[in-house]
Amino acid sequence: MTSAPSADLVMEKLLQEAVREFPGWDFDRDPSGWTAVRGETRFTRPSLAALRALLRVHRVVRRG
């Protein structure tokens, strides 16, 4: 019988993917959700998935 990965392991993998996808951003988790900071820019969202989606949009808009 195999066991499902723990939520902590899954979240760690998602965080590692976010760090690779968005180099230069610092990610942090607090009771209100997830935060990404780069220089003076700071985004906070309730989930890591929502934060990554926002960062993707931010990246596209900056390329303009």
For the segment 33-59, what is each residue's pLDDT rounded down to a tens digit? 999 999 999 999 999 999 999 999 999
- Return the number of other C-beta atoms located less than 10 Å from residue 50's C-beta: 14
pLDDT band, residue 7 (cuts 50/70/90): confident
Parse the chain into domains and list their residue ranges.
Answer: 25-63
Instruction: Share the mean pLDDT of the chain.
Output: 91
> pTM for this one?
0.81
Rounded distance between C-alpha atoms, residue 37 and residue 29, angstroms: 12
Contact 34, 27 (CB under 8 A): yes
- Please say whether the beta carbons of 52 and 61 come within 8 A: no
Which string of DSSP letters, residue by residue, matches 10-31? HHHHHHHHHHHHSTT-EEEEET
Whole-angstrom distance, CA of residue 61 vs CA of residue 16 = 24
